[in-house]
Structure 1
């Protein structure tokens, strides 16, 4: 088996890894435009470079022409590549946006790594195959618990958005969402008018918007007259 054949098979293996990772990252965990909101692109490009360059390059370097089938070389390189793949996917998985949480008057993007771990309702547990979901967060009706939540928010920076035990269905907060929604006139102060018009044509039922706080950038969430979420768009809220 020639060096070119070995490298060719290694490239095919790398392409397989990339196809799986692309689906998981950009279709399941970070659907557009949340990939930009969470800032995953830089990490993914490093991941791609490690997977696509590491395997073929190492095979090309360590391949010994005098051996008919260099199984040891192939096994070592493949093991490194598989390990890199799973480690990279684990890092990306930990940073994925799990919740888009309505708190008071805006939405916050909450990544898996941001979540404050406590006992959680089964409805709001994280799942591997789960796409980002919209929810609302409210203070506990128990006075003592509410006091603890407020103190931890002030002194430890643990916001309600990071506490799944405070989550409730967003549908039940639709009236509050609608009440806090803002006029599109505000968007024209910080965005290109053409971009706003395209968004309004895309969502003809929209009647307002709320800010969505992200990691790298902030965007907006569009809502209709019932307070239901229509979608996320790449417009600056401020």
Structure 2
């Protein structure tokens, strides 16, 4: 059996030797070793670490924003959970102004109103069957489920 031993240098090697955890000697030596870095190197390392963490925070916040539910839409006989990535903003200018921008904090309860125009109703039906776009994903078809 080959044993790996860390170089002995300073007071921490005597603490490790006298300790019962001598099998962890190389790992502990690396964590307690003082490489005598300059202060500018230390500041550079801290700033780099903070920038990387800030980048990961921004990416994860964007991911949470993308996956959050925007509406709970009552469509005929069921409720559909509509995510912000599922919205179809083709005719957003025809929507009520409260449905043009999604809520940031909690999903809104909305109802779905079918079009009174037969041609538009047929287009919506074909979009749902052929492309998988539900009528609840269209903000221009939403109405208030509860009165405000």
Q: TM-score, normalised by structure 2?
A: 0.67
Q: What is the CA-CA distance between 1:144 and the residue it aligns to?
A: 1.7
1:114 aligned residue: 86
Q: Residues 75 and 164 (structure 1 numbering): CA distance in 2 closer, same or farther, change over 3 Å? A: same
Q: What is the CA-CA distance between 1:146 and the residue it aligns to?
A: 1.2
1:45 aligned residue: none
1:82 aligned residue: 54
1:67 equivalenced with 2:42 (yes/no):
no
1:153 equivalenced with 2:128 (yes/no):
yes
| Partner Cα distance (2:100, 2:35) in 1 | 50
Q: Does the Cα contact within 8 Å between 2:87 and 2:139 map onto a contact in 1? A: yes
Q: What is the CA-CA distance between 1:126 and the residue it aligns to?
A: 2.9
User: What do residues 120-141 of structure 1 show as CA deviations (whole Å, max 9, x unaligned)?
Assistant: 2221123463421000112211
Q: Does the Cα contact within 8 Å between 1:152 and 1:158 map onto a contact in 2? A: yes
Q: TM-score, normalised by structure 1?
A: 0.43
Q: Does the Cα contact within 8 Å between 2:109 and 2:146 map onto a contact in 1? A: no
Mapping for residues 59-208 of structure 1, pairs under 5 Å: 65-69=36-40, 70-120=42-92, 121=95, 122-127=97-102, 129-171=104-146
Q: What is the CA-CA distance between 1:88 and the residue it aligns to?
A: 0.5
Aligned residues: 111
Structure 2 residues without counterparts, runs of 5 or longer: 1-30
Q: Does the Cα contact within 8 Å between 1:98 and 1:126 map onto a contact in 2? A: no
Q: Residues 163 and 68 (structure 1 numbering): CA distance in 2 closer, same or farther, change over 3 Å? A: same
| Partner Cα distance (2:126, 2:35) in 1 | 64
Note the aligned Cα RMSD (angstroms). 2.1
Q: Which one has a bigger Cα radius of gyration?
A: 2
Identify, as 1 or 2, the structure richer in helix: 1
Structure 1 residues without counterparts, runs of 5 or longer: 1-59, 173-238
| Partner Cα distance (1:97, 1:66) in 2 | 49
